[in-house]
Structure 1
Amino acid sequence: MNNRRTFIKKSGLFLAAASIPSYGFLLPKGNRKLGVALVGLGNYSSTQLAPAMLKTKHCELRGIVTGSPEKIPVWQKKYGIKDSNIYNYENMDSIANNPEIDVIYIVLPTGLHAQYAIKAANTGKHVWCEKPMARTAEECRQIIQACDQNNVKLSIGYRMQHEDNTQTIMKWAKTKPFGTIKYLKAEAGYYGNPMNPWKLKKKMGGGAMYDMGVYPLNAARYSTGLEPIAVSATHTTNRPELFTEVDETTIFQLEFPEGIVANCKTSFGESLNNLEINCRNGWYYLRPFQSYSGVKGKASDGTVLKPFGKNQQAVQMDDDAMAIINDTPVLVPGTDGLKDIVILEKIYESAATGGKRISLI
């Protein structure tokens, strides 16, 4: 136990010579369970993804990648993970030789997504990557290229697109039951005190826009079914002594074809959780729209969108697992994550000019 890191490193090297069959793939196709390895054992992995995996039908937590040896015994006791399925960041390449692992899920600070998603793709395992996809559009393209070259599927962890009420909003963008969309409002934020240290670091992909801003950004896109043609944005802060490198609050406006305007806001200094769509003949909303549970809403005709009632992360992982098992397209591919980061970079560019309108076409 005292030399846990050395042990784990050796176990990874030992695994390279192993030839244990993947029991998941010996099951009938409909009952197949994919072995998932979580990369990064922070708050989201420990409080959301790992517990949710116990509720899935097609996934099983079989491996972990961590730089914190002291976490290993806790995770092994709780989830029964084998010594041979434990890795650190230096030897995770050897997952390539482990047939028990089918998927590598990147759950690290945004600034590390590209480095480890590419490393994961190069093992030949399928890649799930948390949102936002990466810090830059170029990094997103590198991840997509690595997955394509290794012929593995890539899915981005936009859990909301797997949620029932959100999918109703996405459907209405196409069917237009209340007429054409005129404008919408999308807001997501929380009051961070204290703040997670890495979320205050620009190099790590910190800032409200990266962490929470992708929710209203992605929502504006899926609520309209369109891509924005222009953006303008501004940053504000009430705690400049804390937010020295990144944005505390970002207010941005997206212009879409057909004259649709989306007014959006994200913040580390204010509780925000609202999606409103206004149409020619009515309106509808989700409030809250991006919470882990209890997403609900209403429409102007009296329609009530009741809470989903299922674990969002479990549904997300099962959906992505079935895409692998059946070799069908994933719901949220890398190209969707890339589109958000292309727009996000322009949001920062506009904010740096004090709100200048920037064309996206």
Structure 2
Amino acid sequence: MNSRRSFIQKVALTAASIPLLRFQSLAAPPASDEPVLRVALMGLGGYANRVADAMKSCKKAKLTGAISGTPAKLTDWQQRFGIPEKNCYNYQTFDQIKNNPDIDVVYITTPNALHHSQVLRVAAAGKHVICEKPMAINAKEGQEMVDACKKAGVHLLVGYRMHFEPKTLEVIGMRNSGEFGKIMFFQGQCGFRIGDPTQWRLNKELAGGGSMMDIGIYAINGARYMVGEEPIWVTAQEVKTDPVKFKPGVDETIQFQFGFPSGAVASCLSTYNMNYLDRFYLNGEKGFAELQPSTGYGPIRGRTNKGELTAPHVTHQTIQMEEMADIILRGKQPLIPVNGEEGVKDLKIIDAIYAAVKSGRKEPLKLV
């Protein structure tokens, strides 16, 4: 444990990888003359409610608007979160946010296939965008979203909450300091048994796929930030045991493998048919790290060859919104990027995974 304590002391002034110090900074509000990020949430489903509840604890971000196609939800949010009626919009009228100074950024939590058009409209209205992952249903759409936001001069961020999670950052800090030695192997297992067969996540037109477009992206993105490199090839195999529930174009289970420039390899699993799969394992020549659960809403639990990870749990969405406020308003650079370019890289990998399933061959990747 002494080497880890020494590492934390050594980088305390520069890194976002020191969880305890991060929480002390989150607890303190910004100086009185610093702006607060004013947020409108689009798509008022279960996850949007989770974000809104988490933002009650934010000091640097405030919920000020809501966008939904369901009038009853807008009325409910006005009452529960104190949102003025003038800051509420539906999907036909939300372009009018262009004239609303109460809204700085729109956080989009709608089904995957809607992200592309909605991001383009928000950017055209001159507002910053936070978009849930996956950012789009393919890399072409994702790049168009990045280009549109650049042209409009607005930020495009992706809801990668794990990029700010303390135990995850603790592992990355140890890797960066060389405590695991040369990284050799990563394993990412992400899955659960999905329920209601009529939900949008099992509708290809809305989801863009199946488990890979929902839970699988955690293993894809996790492999990249845990290994600390960009993969250069992928292979993949699909298994489907229930073709009625998982219709054509909606994947049930996909195993996929990456190769990295250093020689490290990754083995990952994405599934909608198995529970108790939420584990990351990183192996190096001098040590290892394991997170289990690794991507759930928390608390994340982890250990390394040097002992248990002990960073305290704070609601992921609270940390995420505080950090994104700093990125948008104060130009902060996060330890792990959360910008649109990061989202496009994951989409390129998803495209390649689906291509590898069809071809049965090793598909090359060029992300840098």
TM-score calculated relative to the size of structure 2: 0.87
2:270 maps to: 266
1:60-99 equivalence runs, <5 A:
60-99=62-101
CA distance in 2, matches of 1:308, 1:231: 35
Give the CA deviation at 1:309.
Answer: 1.5
1:139 maps to: 141
1:155-194 equivalence runs, <5 A:
155-194=157-196
Give the CA deviation at 1:196.
Answer: 5.9
CA distance in 2, matches of 1:37, 1:167: 28
**Conservation of the 8 A alpha-carbon contact between 1:58 and 1:321:** yes
Instruction: State how many pairs are aligned.
Output: 331
- Post-superposition Cα deviations, 1:112-158, rounded to whole Å, max 9, x if no partner, equal 11110111111111110111111111111111111111111111001
**Conservation of the 8 A alpha-carbon contact between 2:67 and 2:74:** no
Structure 1 stretches lacking a partner, 5+ long: 1-26
**Conservation of the 8 A alpha-carbon contact between 1:293 and 1:308:** no
**Conservation of the 8 A alpha-carbon contact between 1:296 and 1:307:** no
Q: Which stretch shows the higher mean deviation, 97-106 or 188-197? A: 188-197
Give the CA deviation at 1:304.
Answer: 1.2
Identity of aligned residues (%): 37
Determine which of 180, 197, 200 is the counterpart of 1:198: 200
Determine which of 240, 243, 246 is the counterpart of 1:243: 246
Give the CA deviation at 1:171.
Answer: 2.4
CA distance in 2, matches of 1:77, 1:299: 46
CA distance in 2, matches of 1:39, 1:162: 22
User: Is the counterpart of residue 255 in structure 1 residue 280 in structure 2?
Assistant: no
The letter for the 2-side match of 1:42 is G
User: Is the counterpart of residue 211 in structure 1 residue 242 in structure 2?
Assistant: no
**Conservation of the 8 A alpha-carbon contact between 1:163 and 1:308:** no
CA distance in 1, matches of 2:263, 2:246: 35
Give the CA deviation at 1:219.
Answer: 0.5
Q: Report the aligned-residue RMSD.
A: 1.4
1:332 maps to: 338
Secondary structure in structure 2 of the residue aligned to 1:89: coil
Secondary structure in structure 1 of the residue aligned to 2:125: coil
CA distance in 1, matches of 2:97, 2:266: 43
User: Is the counterpart of residue 50 in structure 1 residue 52 in structure 2?
Assistant: yes
- Post-superposition Cα deviations, 1:307-344, rounded to whole Å, max 9, x if no partner, equal 64201001001100111221334641111110000011
**Conservation of the 8 A alpha-carbon contact between 1:133 and 1:156:** yes
Over 3 Å counting, the alpha-carbon distance change for 1:128 and 1:44 in structure 2 is: same
CA distance in 2, matches of 1:104, 1:174: 34
CA distance in 2, matches of 1:68, 1:299: 47
CA distance in 2, matches of 1:194, 1:277: 34
**Conservation of the 8 A alpha-carbon contact between 2:167 and 2:309:** yes
The letter for the 1-side match of 2:245 is L
TM-score calculated relative to the size of structure 1: 0.89
CA distance in 1, matches of 2:230, 2:197: 32
- Post-superposition Cα deviations, 1:18-43, rounded to whole Å, max 9, x if no partner, equal xxxxxxxxx8344x322111110111
Secondary structure in structure 2 of the residue aligned to 1:84: helix
Give the CA deviation at 1:195.
Answer: 4.2
Give the CA deviation at 1:225.
Answer: 1.1
Secondary structure in structure 2 of the residue aligned to 1:335: helix
User: Is the counterpart of residue 344 in structure 1 residue 350 in structure 2?
Assistant: yes
Secondary structure in structure 2 of the residue aligned to 1:90: coil
The letter for the 2-side match of 1:275 is F
**Conservation of the 8 A alpha-carbon contact between 2:184 and 2:263:** yes
Give the CA deviation at 1:70.
Answer: 1.8
Over 3 Å counting, the alpha-carbon distance change for 1:248 and 1:308 in structure 2 is: farther
The letter for the 1-side match of 2:293 is P
Task: Give the 4+ runs in structure 1 shifted more than 6 A.
Answer: none
Determine which of 109, 113, 118 is the counterpart of 1:107: 109
User: Is the counterpart of residue 229 in structure 1 residue 229 in structure 2?
Assistant: no
- Post-superposition Cα deviations, 1:225-278, rounded to whole Å, max 9, x if no partner, equal 101010000111222110013001111001111211100001111121000011
1:9 maps to: none
